[in-house]
Amino acid sequence: MMPEDGAGRQHVVGRLRLHGDERRRWPTETGREGLDFTINDESSVAVSGDWESHGDLVFPLVRRIAREHPSVHTVLHLGDLRWVPALRVGKRRLHLYDGFIPKLDEELHRTRLRLLLTPGNHDDWSSLQPAFLAHPERPRRLTPQIWALPRGLRFHIGGRAFLSFGGAVSLDADRGTAEVPTDDDVRRAAAGGSVDVLLAHEPPNSGIAAVERALDANQRWSADRLDLSASSRSRIDRLVDQVRPRLAFHAHMHVGGRVSVGDRTTVALSVIGGHGNTVILRLASLEVDALGTAENESDS
């Protein structure tokens, strides 16, 4: 874990300040902006579900990924980091959730990992949406090690085509419309054709039993929120039908599971601390392994 002394905290906060060209740096080998967002030097990536700012569980997980899978340099996160920008209080910058984001950035820096965020409903869409509308074609750098991906962004890692499609309906409260994918979002995202891997926060209706049980059994959610959620999930269904991913990942429901129909596999990733929060995706074969069981490549 990070040092808790004042100097340590100042180091972390200082690292988060991005100036000029640093803000426009891409998470690629060269870091240069371009029309083609491609990372070539990866054979496997980690894919993670909701972390919900639980640093006591997340930081050991980050170190475990780096230790057990040294060839992995990218974490594809499916949303609900609980990312919010720092608040200015006088001359100070205050990071919420006990400084989770600067501490996470420091752990990623130490382990030489980058994190690409497909934002969830608990990430700050009031800040993300204006940036995504201004530049839907490029990742937005949030910290030195973390980038947020606009809804509908396509990119390549290790020769595989990915589509990031963030957002979801909040079931517990109304947090505004920016978090919710629209029909227009689906049309724009699908226009580029098929992909190998879809990354979403909102689940499709794929038949994963744990997801269906979570939706059916949780009586604390209102009928109105459940209806909105059903409409949002139907949009993900349409997107899946149109882009035909071999793999579709999602988070949001805090449960894990997997189902295969024909040549398509859908994987639900649980909340941090639950079984199946993080998996290793081998890009050549598109095989998905539990953390700690994937073949340990030595080409890093």
54-95 pLDDT tens trace: 999 999 999 999 999 999 999 999 999 999 988 877 777 778
- Cα distances from 158 to residues 38, 42, 292, 297, in angstroms, run 8, 5, 21, 14
- The encoded tokens of residue 126 equal 């009031």
What residue has token string 């509908």? 152
167-213 pLDDT tens trace: 999 999 999 999 999 999 999 999 999 999 999 999 999 999 999 99
User: Which amino acid makes up residue 33?
Assistant: E
Provide the CATH topology of domain 42-290. Purple Acid Phosphatase; chain A, domain 2 (3.60.21)
As a whole number of angstroms, the distance between CA 195 and CA 181 comes to: 19
DSSP state of 51: -
Task: Give the global pTM.
Answer: 0.92
Query: Residue 8's pLDDT is what?
Result: 33
